[in-house]
Amino acid sequence: MRKVAIIGVGMTKFGELWDKSLRQLLVESGLEALEDASEKRTLRGKDIEAAYIGNMSAGLFNEQEHLAAMLADYTGMTEGNRPATKVEAACASGGVALYNAYLAVASGRYNIVAVCGLEKMTDLLSGSVTDALVSAADREYEAFYGVTFPSLYAMMARRHMHDYGTTLEQLALVAVKNHRNGYYNPKAQFRRLITVEDVYRSPVIADPLRLLHCSPVSDGAATIILADAKTAKKYTDRLVYILACAQASDTLGLYNRKDLTTMESVVSASKVAYETARLKPKDIDFVEAHDCFTIAEIMAYEDLGFCEKGRGGKMIEEGLTEIDGEIPFNPSGGLKAKGHPVGATGVAQAVEVVLQLREEAEQRQVKGAKIGMSHNIGGTGSTAVVTIYGRDV
């Protein structure tokens, strides 16, 4: 397996982008990534040998399928008739696209590969958005009976509270922290500070989860460009390497889980990633985690091995995951504040990790960061991708 580097990153602002089309978002993030990669020599769309696009459901959200052809068409890849592939894995679509692109370069099949994550969700009314999203759960045995993703994660939260004493304040502190980080992210959807009291006063969505425990409906796109180490050095010296990338699966339905408070897919993927990179949790300097709901971040502390099962709530309470803490989580603001255009999220996490490792994250910079991690999940953890990155190899 060859060493794989990220040579360029690009990302649109996340939010309610009604004035931009799906196509415009794709092109904007792609052009930014090409420009970012062109430090020593110009990288053009025709130089990309293959591309993967992560998208959950443009067919439901925008009535547009065949996004891989759109990607090839509007990035100049059709000049060489290069292959482009759409990847769908619910909210982990971006992460799985990254996983496939990583394997394509590491195996030697291609030298330069683009990865785009894309979703435009705000063109629909809220009820239609909820229905589209719940297609990532078990439609026949969960959604048919009225289950939504807030209610599924509410069950996980309630069980975690019952088994381990996790508190409403600890859940709220995750939201407060991530909004504080997102305040310093110019591309975040929500750049405003909130308090624990604000979380308590927000409307109940699915008890115990309130509005400010939940990530928003968002539009946005993110793109990264991968290359083998030899090719990468021809374009830039600002290299960030993928030290490991692992994917795992769990049951589609939450009802089939052995433990509602553990995502076995995350446990498995992180174990493989640590072993591949020859690292341990203590070696990771920061994490971009999939905090679609605040309980998901607390579970990630545990499933990724940063604390024992049940102590996730204590980690946020003790400030260990703050940007200046022992193991910062979501310096970007996470899905909670940065936004969650579902297909784009896994790629946007990689963009943030790269900026952090290049020391280009400005006021949200994690000091001395050398090793970063991203954690991208689909559904209730039915799919998980865990990636470890480093500046030096």
Give the active site residues: 91, 340
**3-class SS of residue 83:** coil
Across the chain, where does the E strand assignment appear? 4-11, 50-54, 84-87, 112-120, 204-206, 209-210, 219-228, 240-249, 286-288, 371-378, 383-390
Q: Which residue has the tokens 């909004």?
A: 179
* One-letter amino acid for residue 62 of the chain: N
Cβ-based neighbour number of residue 279 at 10 Å:
17
> Residues 312, 159: contact at Cβ < 8 Å?
no
- Which distant-in-sequence residues (6+ apart) come within 8 Å of 357 by Cβ? 240, 369, 370, 372, 389, 390, 391
Nearest to 351 by CA among 87, 40, 36, 48: 36
Q: Sign (positive/negative) of CA torsion 209, 332, 8, 273? A: negative
Per-residue DSSP letter, 327: S
